[in-house]
Chain A
Amino acid sequence: MTGPNILMRDLLVLLAFTGWCLALPHYGSEFEVSMALTCLMYVALSSSWGLFCGSTRYLSLATSAFFGIGAYTSALTLDSLPWLASIALGAALAMGIAVVMGAAVLHLRGTYFAVLTFGMTELIRHAVTYFEKKVTGTVGRVLTVVPERDTIYLTVLALAVLAVLVSIVVRRSRFGLALAGIGADEQRAQTLGVNTRLVKILGFALTAGFAGAVGAAMAVRWTYIDPHTVFNPFIGFQTVLIALIGGAMTLWGPLIAAIVFSILAETLRLQAPQVYMMSLGLLLILSVLYLPGGLASLRWSTVGGWWRNRERSHG
């Protein structure tokens, strides 16, 4: 999976994808561009999530915490800082919090880790809500200075491409091998001389940095933010769903699933929001039951496998 041919193929696919996304704002309608923006946001979020959580199998539900931190950072600093600087600051703050959080919880595995990251996200959300209510006396914040639509689009596109690019590079590096080693057998990796603690914290911070940057970029898109929208646990869930349904271990799975989901979301959400959420839940259950490796692992033989199982269980 790491031969030079595969590398060329991955880079070419990424290049084609980027080109197409660059062209889109010039001919697409307002609706299409906004849909592409949501899509790119989830590409960045779930690719970077898969980078750490997919390979190490640490199920983090804290994406919305980092997203919210980024969003608040850019909302607060956009007046005084240039656009790119406030995004970088959002990413840096999210990474800082991830390092602290990671140092505290990354020694726990499995369900404990998932539940703790979820709890910490909620803790941060309630803390920000409380702070806003009591100290600043507002519920939400209105963003007055907003960059143009194309600036936001290009920034999010750059983040999405960067997330995929970093995934491609990390998979081939010593660091990526260490992450995969932790996912396969953490004790063995430790015995073989991997500093698992450091690698995990770095990986977690990398994921958080992307989520923070995306949050910072998307906050201006909404022009009004409150803790409930930007720390919405649903952003975290949907990221995890997309990565898992696409195949968290694979490179292109999260991207494919992000596109499918954004289209599904934008077409169904307005007419029938509950139906959208219900089908999301159903899809998640079905994909965990029948496609545990994700959409990207779907081959003709998988379908054949279901068929054989069926015959065996009847026979």
Chain B
Amino acid sequence: MSVSAWLELLASGLITGGIYALVALGLNLQYGLMRILNIAHGEFLMVGAYLTWMAQTTLGMSPLWMVPVSFAVMMALGVLIHWLTFRRLSATSPNLDIFEARGLMVSFGLMFLVQNFASYMWGGDLRGYDYLTDPVPLGDAQFAGNKLLVFALALLFSAALIFVLRHTLLGKGVRALMQSPTGAQLVGIDTHRLHPLMFGIGLGLSGVAGCLLSMAYTISPSMGEPYTVTALIVITLGGFGSMGGALAGGLLLGVIEALGMHFSNPSLKALLSYSVFIAVLLLRPRGLFSK
């Protein structure tokens, strides 16, 4: 294989990996901060994709405009869902383990609810639209313009989230809550405000990922579930609660999948990601990058 073919393969892996990282960051925020393993996370990605598709086909809006819109809509939805369900759940659960198990069940319920709502509303067909499909030459290789845009925006949002968590007062509060919930509350960090907000931001990121995906790929009501699973794999790779780990894990998984599919065959993709997942969970349950 020539050098440019290798580069092309790596780049296509990184493009998928960028989306993986974005989805995983949102899920990691929810799990790392609140111990909510949101199995329905990918479903909100799908809703974001459908909102973008609807705005593009019926109103003629540019998908780029829909990036902030779907973030805002999904974030509002997230705050609402947290207020309706997880608030009561954390008040009534006797300990964190039980909260985690019950939260998992609630998010299974959400998954059924949202996925079937989408197929009830929009039908089960594959949908899509054309946006920036012209190839852009980069060195020797060529990439579709929309995929490059998707990658750039996914990285931008991931970097923005990590920046906010590292360098703002809000982010410091969130990280303090991740390290020690009781300690953080003792120094005056308001859990009742931060939890819904961060749950909302997690869903918002998922909505953005959906919006980006719809620019380059076809969408369907069942598209969310594989991304949830991938996000789970990514956060186990990167370590539960570690944001930098999720970003690196997402990009890594994208490249592993691209290489694996190139050297074996595409129908092995799911088999490959599940093997990586199980191997990591069994051998390094605290994440690949843990010390």
Contact A116 B281 (CB under 8 A): yes
Q: Is residue B159 contacting chain A, with contact meaning CB distance below 8 A?
A: no
Give Cα A120 to B277, complex, Å.
9
Give Cα A196 to B88, complex, Å.
34
Most chain B beta carbons < 10 A, residue from A133, A282, A289? A289
Partner of A289, one of B88, B232, B281, B285: B88
A284: chain B residues at CB < 8 Å are: 105-106, 108-109, 112
Also in contact, A281 and B109, with CB within 8 A (given A59-B101, A111-B101): yes
Give Cα A237 to B225, complex, Å.
14
Q: Is residue B97 contacting chain A, with contact meaning CB distance below 8 A?
A: yes
Contact-residue bracket for chain B: 35 or more
Contact B120 A278 (CB under 8 A): yes
Give Cα A57 to B100, complex, Å.
12
Give Cα A285 to B97, complex, Å.
18
Interface contacts (Cβ under 8 Å), in number, total 107
The minimal Cβ–Cβ distance linking A228 to chain B, given in whole angstroms, is: 12
Please report which residues of chain B, range 29-86, place their CB below 8 angstroms from some CB of chain A when the two chains form the complex.
35, 37, 85
Also in contact, A237 and B278, with CB within 8 A (given A57-B101, A110-B100): no
Tell me whether chain A's interface is mostly helix, strand or loop, or mixed: helix
Tell me whether chain B's interface is mostly helix, strand or loop, or mixed: helix
The minimal Cβ–Cβ distance linking A180 to chain B, given in whole angstroms, is: 16
Q: Is residue A126 contacting chain B, with contact meaning CB distance below 8 A?
A: yes
B274: chain A residues at CB < 8 Å are: 119-120, 122-123, 126
Contact B104 A114 (CB under 8 A): yes
B112: chain A residues at CB < 8 Å are: 277-278, 280-281, 284
- Total count of chain A residues near the partner, CB < 8 A: 39
Q: Is residue B89 contacting chain A, with contact meaning CB distance below 8 A?
A: yes
Mask for A88-124, Cβ within 8 A of B = 1, else 0?
Answer: 0000000000000000110011111011100110110
Give Cα A30 to B92, complex, Å.
45
Please report which residues of chain A, range 260-277, place their CB below 8 angstroms from some CB of chain B when the two chains form the complex.
273-275, 277
Q: Is residue A13 contacting chain B, with contact meaning CB distance below 8 A?
A: no
Contact A285 B278 (CB under 8 A): no
The minimal Cβ–Cβ distance linking A111 to chain B, given in whole angstroms, is: 5
The minimal Cβ–Cβ distance linking B42 to chain A, given in whole angstroms, is: 14
B115: chain A residues at CB < 8 Å are: 277
Residue of B nearest to A109 (CB): B97
Give Cα A57 to B111, complex, Å.
22
The minimal Cβ–Cβ distance linking A306 to chain B, given in whole angstroms, is: 11
Q: Is residue A130 contacting chain B, with contact meaning CB distance below 8 A?
A: yes
B282: chain A residues at CB < 8 Å are: 104-105, 116
Also in contact, A130 and B105, with CB within 8 A (given A122-B274, A289-B89): no
Contact A116 B278 (CB under 8 A): yes
Mark the stretch among B6-14, B247-255, B265-273 that contacts chain A: B265-273
The minimal Cβ–Cβ distance linking A64 to chain B, given in whole angstroms, is: 14
Q: Is residue B110 contacting chain A, with contact meaning CB distance below 8 A?
A: yes
Please report which residues of chain A, range 262-315, place their CB below 8 angstroms from some CB of chain B when the two chains form the complex.
273-275, 277-278, 280-285, 288-289, 292
For the A-B complex with A274-B117, A277-B112, A281-B114 known, give 16 more contacts whose Cβ atoms are closer than 8 Å: A110-B100, A110-B101, A112-B281, A115-B37, A116-B278, A127-B271, A129-B267, A130-B267, A277-B113, A278-B113, A281-B110, A283-B109, A284-B109, A288-B89, A288-B106, A289-B92
A sample of 23 inter-chain contacts (CB < 8 A) reads A59-B104, A108-B285, A109-B97, A111-B35, A111-B100, A112-B281, A115-B281, A119-B229, A120-B278, A122-B274, A123-B274, A123-B275, A126-B270, A129-B267, A130-B271, A240-B105, A278-B113, A280-B112, A281-B116, A283-B109, A288-B106, A289-B92, A289-B106
Pick the 9 closest A-B CB pairs, nearest first. A281-B112, A281-B113, A284-B109, A285-B109, A274-B120, A277-B116, A123-B274, A274-B116, A281-B109
B interface residues, Cβ below 8 angstroms from A? 35, 37, 85, 88-89, 92, 97, 100-102, 104-106, 108-117, 119-120, 229, 232, 236, 267-268, 270-271, 274-275, 277-278, 281-282, 285
